[in-house]
Structure 1
Amino acid sequence: MTAPPAQTQYYHHGRFRVAGGVLPDAITAYRTYGDPGNPCIIFPTSYSAKLDGQARRVGENKALNPKKYFIVTFATFCNGEPSPYNGPYFPAISYEDNILGVKKIFMAFGFSMGGQQAYHWAVVFPDFVERYVVICGSAKTSIHNKAFLEGPKAALLASKDFEDGHYKTNPERGIRAFARVWSAWAYGQSFFRGKEFEEGGAYPNLESFFKEKWEQNFLGAWDANDMLALLETWYTGDISIVRHGGNLGACLADIKARGLILPCQTDLYFPPEDSIMEGGHLKERGRIAVIPSTWGHMAGTGANPEADAFIQGEVMRFMEEPL
């Protein structure tokens, strides 16, 4: 049973300094599930995710159980909740800019960019975060990952309707190009040979997949400047900048919270090799479990039942493990 979407609330930070300048009235959109007296789990959004989508992972039969925990889902700056502000002049945002005031966190939980942010919670608040779960994410955005991000970014910037960010209507041509460059990396190669594309499957051909599903994910809910700003946060993600001057191994070794790292075996953004390398520095404070799925990065979204059953089982077991 999935929890129904809660009411979105808005926290006004007032003037708020971020990596690239100052926001005159920074706003964080968030939703809560459960009793505030229960242990708190924070669940930030990933790239292209909205608060409605976060509800998929909240439910009485899931790890994020609102009967047992107080769950706070919140929108990462530039995810479009609230509406875009200041177009191409929006200042650069880092992961640590998205860390909210905290008293005690039972667990920071996130997928993709949300997983990278979960790592940041454990580093920024070492005495207040007990556990963290990283699904298809990393402590530092790799060179390989950055090379991928340059592709869709270049497609959008070069489109004739982007107009250097000063467009009057959302640049559909550029967003469609952005989405198509993105698509081949999102799923594992085996996904495109699977049942979705077999005769009688969901999509009769690749063009149908692009137009009916993949491009719509970006066109329907995203502003092009927001897409680029959030991409920059991902691109520059590195927990070691926060505490250890760029020494990633030392930063990982110093994390006090207990961690569960869940890469997917076919993920092309955050391949399991990266997680295994990073996990070697966590020692006894971290555990890695590789998701066995052909869905690539998208295995971590909760959309594939088999992959999600594996994730739910690992997370539930992790939540019962002693600190």
Structure 2
Amino acid sequence: MRIIFAGTPDAAVPTLRALLASSHEVALVITRPPARRGRGKTLYPSPVAEVAARAGVEVAETTTLKSTQIGERIAAVDADLGVVVAYGGLIPPAVLQMPTHGWVNLHFSDLPRWRGAAPVQWAIREGDATTASCVFRLEEGLDTGDVYSRVEVRIGRESAGELLDAMAQAGASQVLDVVDGLQAGTAVAVAQSETGITHARRLEHADGYVSFTRSAEEEDRIIRSVTPNPGAYTILPGGTRMKLGVATPVERDDLEPGQLEITKKQVSVGCSGGALVLGQIAPAGKSWMDAAAWARGARPDDTMRFGGVMGDGQ
């Protein structure tokens, strides 16, 4: 099969590498343009662009597939199939029709649950016990196409980043199986259910706020859902922010929401039910450190409270 691959972040790299190592030909890689990172705002190519360049594959860096120029470039490939993993943009109808077998997409949710940009994050945030990776046929609707392959995944206490990394690695062979099936004419796609549809919008900075006014289990899920991006944080007295790494929920009822208990080895914060034992934290303007190390230096008094209902100045 002559393949066009579209993807951008690290999550797309395992599938691209699997296709490059297979008997199929990756004729063109489409990815987002270089992005600025770090304090110096240096431009860096996407992870997919780096892998493709090392493999000697032609790369098209673009923010949209709607332009006439990119459409002509895709059409010239005369591809058998398009494969998408987290490209970061919609594929217009005219381009969907260009490859002989259309396009397939590896999506990290149990479709039709969590259609959209952040399926892993929302599965964790809402407390789903399981999710799935699905390879489906792309069509004009958002993640609505018939599903060729579904592999269930159990959700433990992973962060969104950890779970996505694991699913991306496992999903590479899943995509390759579907590509082989399409070539052999044995692949069968099943229509998605008309019930149980939910949407997973991209999480914003505000979604990472930890108020400690919810149960410890809920606050834990919020933290894990935004780790590593966009990141979790809380508010200290005076309105300063503190970044929060993954914490551990524990059952106890002797701490008020936001109240701290500090020992030599750990910092616990009360929630509306239970408490969170903090792990790594990063006070404003400082690097990540163990919460107990922060407490030894900051020496917070017994009246200090974290979080609360966010006000206009927070």
Question: Which band: TM-score by shorter chain?
Answer: 0.3 to 0.5
| TM-score, normalised by the number of residues in structure 1 | 0.32
* Larger proportion of helix: 1
| TM-score, normalised by the number of residues in structure 2 | 0.33
* Larger proportion of strand: 2
- Higher relative contact order, chain-length normalized (CA < 8 Å, sep 6+): 1
